[in-house]
Amino acid sequence: GENVEQHPSTLSVQEGDSAVIKCTYSDSASNYFPWYKQELGKGPQLIIDIRSNVGEKKDQRIAVTLNKTAKHFSLHITETQPEDSAVYFCAAFSGSARQLTFGSGTQLTVLP
Amino acid sequence: GAVVSQHPSRVICKSGTSVKIECRSLDFQATTMFWYRQFPKKSLMLMATSNEGSKATYEQGVEKDKFLINHASLTLSTLTVTSAHPEDSSFYICSARGLAVTDTQYFGPGTRLTVL
């Protein structure tokens, strides 16, 4: 089945700096890659996603890049703010499994 | 984005009782709903997948008789934890996906279950 690895597990940045979280996946048939933000005590919230026919997608301060050949995708947050502090999960959707496989999560802390 | 609600948000019960958690897709029809369990500082663990009108598919190691799932309509799924024990205490999160397999999956706010 699909296996998703996520790094780093924790990340601290100064307010205004950029943050990058990376994920790799194993199933070459996976074709959809969402990113979720989870604040303490809440459910995951979809923040951006990308499909395998696109290499990059941007939404204001957030961008995601996908390298299908290398089977990795990354989340980029620019001009970080304290409210960006949360746990971020990447995921990969495999058509064969018909479900999402999640990474282990990254605790992002933005220091004021 | 689409909205998924979950009720209750938190519940405390005595050991041996049963607890029902509801998950609703508020502004879209969800053919498939998922139930996850999350331990502190851990990732989401898929418990089961339910399709409207059919039996749920449980992941390996999840007791189907303990975690009863019903997906009676395109907007409602329920998870019942039967004869709850302290080890069932956890954060339970539902998720809903639209009519197509390739549709985006949206999550509810979660239910914190504490079994005394």
Report the range of poorest mean pLDDT among A19-28, B25-34, B95-104.
Answer: B95-104
- Top residue of B31, B35, B44, B46 to mutate, by most chain A CBs within 10 Å, is B44
Q: What is the mean pLDDT of residues B52-57?
A: 88
DSSP per-residue string spanning A15-34:
TTS-EEEEEEES-TTEEEEE
Contact predicate A8/A57, CB 8 Å: no
CB contacts < 8 A, A to B, total: 46
Residue A97: pLDDT band with limits 50, 70, 90:
confident
Determine the pLDDT at residue A54. 85
Q: What is the mean pLDDT of residues B64-74?
A: 92
Q: What is the mean pLDDT of residues A5-23?
A: 98
Residue in B26, B50, B53, B41 with CA at minimum distance from that of residue B108: B26
| A21–chain B nearest CA distance, Å | 15
* CA distance to B23, B46, B95, per residue, from B59 (Å): 19, 7, 15
Q: Residue A46 and residue B107: Cβ atoms within 8 Å?
A: yes
Q: Residue B104 and residue A44: Cβ atoms within 8 Å?
A: no
Per-residue pLDDT tens digits for B79-93: 999 999 999 999 999
Contact predicate B48/B67, CB 8 Å: yes
Q: Residue A98 and residue B1: Cβ atoms within 8 Å?
A: no
Q: Does residue B66 register a pLDDT over 70?
A: yes
